[in-house]
Amino acid sequence: MPAPTLSLIPRLRDILQLRFTAIFAALPPAALADISPANPLKRLARVLGYAGLRLVGNMFQPIKNRDDLHGKVWLYVVSANNYDALEFIQKARPDAVLVAGQAKNIGRYNKAVNRLSLRRKLLYYWQFPLALAGLLRTDGGRAWRFFDFIFYAIGYYEVYRRALRHYRPRAVIFSNDHNDDTRSLLLACHAEDVPTAYVQHASVSANFPPLGFDLNLLEGQDALDKYRRCGPVHGRVALVGMPKADAYLNQKNTMPTVRRVGLACNIHDPLPALTQTLTYLLRELPELTFTLRPHPSDGRDFEPLRQLLPSLNWSSAWRENVFDFLLRQDALVAADTSTHLEATLLNVASIYYRFGTNPLTDDYYGYAARGLVARADTPAQLAAVLRGYAQHKPIDLYRRAAYYNATLGTPDEGRSQPRTLALLNAWLGAAASS
């Protein structure tokens, strides 16, 4: 039976749940400025640019999909990381197709995914004044601060309901549960009685929306415990490990000492603090080799840093996936990123070090508190931890990740993909016969 249809304001509050949390509002100004400027006039300019380039631009952009989407199993992706997490399903099932929104940036996979038309999204923007007024009543200042996100979210739900009625996919499998377009498609699936499944692609937070899929395939107990804190868990849950790591778990780092150190950063890590830390480490630890890897969505200008620190190596997330990067490291330094877990799985010594100061994101994923990684709070402490690992790196660090990866240390270690496919195939078979 289709789920009851939510009215405009409750629907948008569900779609924008993460955007209206206190932790999102407290992000560093520099990080927020890149996605939602603090100045309302700049936000308005961003909205107008979106309307002109994306909404109107979609009207003139031809869509020529490589696959027929009718009656297929959709693998819905919103990033290159999502693509990497779900591609194995597409390879294993002839009826599975990778799908994204019309102008969604999927990085190096932009030309490899099928597109859902968003041309009709423009027809629903008469709702925006009603939506803004309603959300100002329910969420106050946060609705005004993020009126641009409200604008972007308008119309996804209606357009995706129309697409579901047109193509009648057999099911939709997600790897993201909190983006506005993802939440919209999930609600549309509920309304159109289309089965949904979720394959976790990265570590989760207790600030995420409650699980709302028919089948939830999580990596380990950590994810399930956190989702239970988010709210009621809907649907069946199975712990399957990390499918994207299968091919790498037999390549664990066996170096007894650290010589190569990777640093992972994202838009939430302020450049001045990042520059200061790198300058200190390269000066204090000249015997170590350092490599910086910005997140694929981090569009900041790093050229001044390249000029300042010519001995610093670089990894491009557009050309090298995270596991290939980690295979070239003995240790990792990063703040709040699931790369810590991926590093530990490969027995790379991982150190939690914050470049920012937002108290609400301190140990966001709980890695340091659970003992998955070491922690350093000052550059001097960080250098001291690295010196210790340069003398001796344990060979069994990866065992710490068992709470996060349900297959680690079991006969199914390195077989998360077949385990996931078996559960999906059984679920799809049962859905087809019901």
Average predicted confidence (pLDDT) for the chain: 93
Mean pLDDT of 110-139: 94
Q: Would you place residue 108 in the very low, low, confident or very high pLDDT band (cuts 50, 70, 90)? A: confident
Q: Answer whether residue 159 shows pLDDT above 60.
A: yes
b/e 303-316 (16+ beta carbons within 10 angstroms → b): eebeeebeebeebe
Query: 289 or 5, which is more confident?
Result: 289
Question: Phi/psi at 174 (nearest 5 deg)?
Answer: -110, 160
User: Are the CB atoms for 92 and 421 separated by under 8 Å?
Assistant: yes
Q: Answer whether residue 3 shows pLDDT above 70.
A: no
Considering only CA atoms, which of 330, 344, 340, 338 is closest in space to residue 389?
Answer: 330
Mean pLDDT of 253-281: 95
pLDDT, tens digit, 9 for 90 and up, residues 347-371: 999 999 999 877 778 899 999 999 9
Query: CA 274 → CA 129, 207, 277, 425, distances in Å?
Result: 41, 26, 5, 45
What's residue 99's pLDDT? 98
CATH superfamily of 248-403: Glycogen Phosphorylase B; (3.40.50.2000)
Considering only CA atoms, which of 86, 114, 88 is closest in space to residue 197?
Answer: 86
Considering only CA atoms, which of 163, 198, 208, 184 is closest in space to residue 72?
Answer: 163
The overall pTM is greater than 0.75: yes
Considering only CA atoms, which of 298, 227, 292, 305 is closest in space to residue 264?
Answer: 292
What's residue 62's pLDDT? 79
pLDDT, tens digit, 9 for 90 and up, residues 79-93: 988 999 999 999 999
Mean pLDDT of 164-193: 96
Question: Phi/psi at 96 (nearest 5 deg)?
Answer: -95, 135
What's residue 13's pLDDT? 94
DSSP secondary-structure letter at 215? E
- Neighbouring C-alpha atoms within 13 Å toward the C-beta of 295: 16
User: Are the CB atoms for 192 and 165 separated by under 8 Å?
Assistant: yes
What's residue 1's pLDDT? 55
Angle at 156 between CA 63 and CA 108, to 5 degrees: 50
What's residue 333's pLDDT? 98
Mean pLDDT of 158-169: 98
pLDDT, tens digit, 9 for 90 and up, residues 297-351: 788 899 999 999 999 999 998 888 899 999 999 999 999 999 999 999 999 999 9
Where exactly are the structural domains of the chain? Answer: 8-242+415-433, 248-403
Distance between CA atoms of 300 and 267, rounded to whole angstroms? Answer: 8
Percent of the chain topping pLDDT 70: 99
Q: Would you place residue 4 in the very low, low, confident or very high pLDDT band (cuts 50, 70, 90)? A: low
Listed in sequence order, the DSSP H helices in 123-176 are: 128-139, 141-145, 147-153, 156-167
Mean pLDDT of 55-77: 88
CATH code of the domain made up of 8-242+415-433: 3.40.50.11720
